[in-house]
Structure 1
């Protein structure tokens, strides 16, 4: 997959996924976007360790990693200001704890366009359009 001047070029994205084929697919697609993939990791403790290590632009986190749910460490990840996309085989937000229902999420299986759109919407810094700024000249 060739990069096509992706806005995500050079972004360091943590992948937490315990299903080998899905992890490999995510890694390949993200690399195609120009991202540097951290992981994939398959344990909740590894997610926290990588997040605390820092230098991440975002994370794609499967809800269930080897029988442990990611929800236990989400408050710590949010406190670290890590930008998160939850990936899940379940698209029903009511299955998630109420405090995490508004986090960006993608239901599996997802396609490359949906993944790119979600990553760009979540991981890119909020752009302020220069034409909307009313700054004095000089």
Structure 2
């Protein structure tokens, strides 16, 4: 599907990343890339070529995706924050960003991206 929106996924768990890829494919989206660390995600952000992103807030080794969220905001790229429902506090600068609580579901991904990409 050529005109399908492309999505960048920032997720540090390989199995979850693969599941998200399957969900996006089932929903008619294209995977623009996957990143499991801030440095890799920042490379994707700098290269561009995607319509929206899904950012897991907490990555491995204590990394958070806030630098990626800041870079996406600065470039005007829409994104969704994903949390495990823990104590992640969204900084005020990203207060208006949609938050998706894990575990992911197909309906949750569908609703989040339909809402995000309409606006």
Q: TM-score, normalised by structure 1?
A: 0.76
Root mean square deviation, CA, Å: 1.9
Q: Residue 69 of structure 1: which of 54, 64, 83 is its match? A: 64
Instruction: Note the residue ranges of structure 1 that are not aligned, 5 or more in a row.
Output: 4-8, 127-138
Match of 2:83 in 1: 88
- Equivalents in 1 of 2:45, 2:84: separation in Å? 23
Stretches of structure 2 lacking an aligned partner (at least 5 in a row): none
Once the two structures are TM-superposed, the CA of residue 65 in structure 1 deviates from its matched residue by 1.9
Q: Distance in 1 between matches of 2:67 and 2:49?
A: 22
Asked if the contact 2:82–2:101 (Cα under 8 Å) also holds between the matched residues in 1, the reply is yes
Bigger helix fraction:
2
**Does the C-alpha gap of structure 1 residues 20 and 13 become closer, same or farther in structure 2, counting only changes over 3 Å?**
same
Q: Deviating runs (4+, > 4 A) in structure 1?
A: none
Q: For 1:29 and 1:101, how far apart are their aligned partners in 2?
A: 26
Give me the whole-angstrom Cα distance separating, in 2, the residues matched to 1:106 and 1:92: 14
Contact 1:13 1:57 in 2 (8 A): yes
Greater gyration radius: 1
Tell me the secondary structure at the aligned position of residue 114 of structure 1.
helix
Deviation track 1:13-38 (CA, whole Å, cap 9, x = no partner) reads: 00110011111110000011111112
User: When the two structures are aligned, how many residues end up with a matched partner?
Assistant: 117
Write the distance in 2 (CA, Å) between the matches of 1:103 and 1:32.
24
Residue 113 (str. 1) matches residue 107 (str. 2): yes
State the TM-score, normalizing by the size of structure 2: 0.87
In structure 1, how many angstroms separate the alpha carbons of the residues matched to 2:87 and 2:116? 20
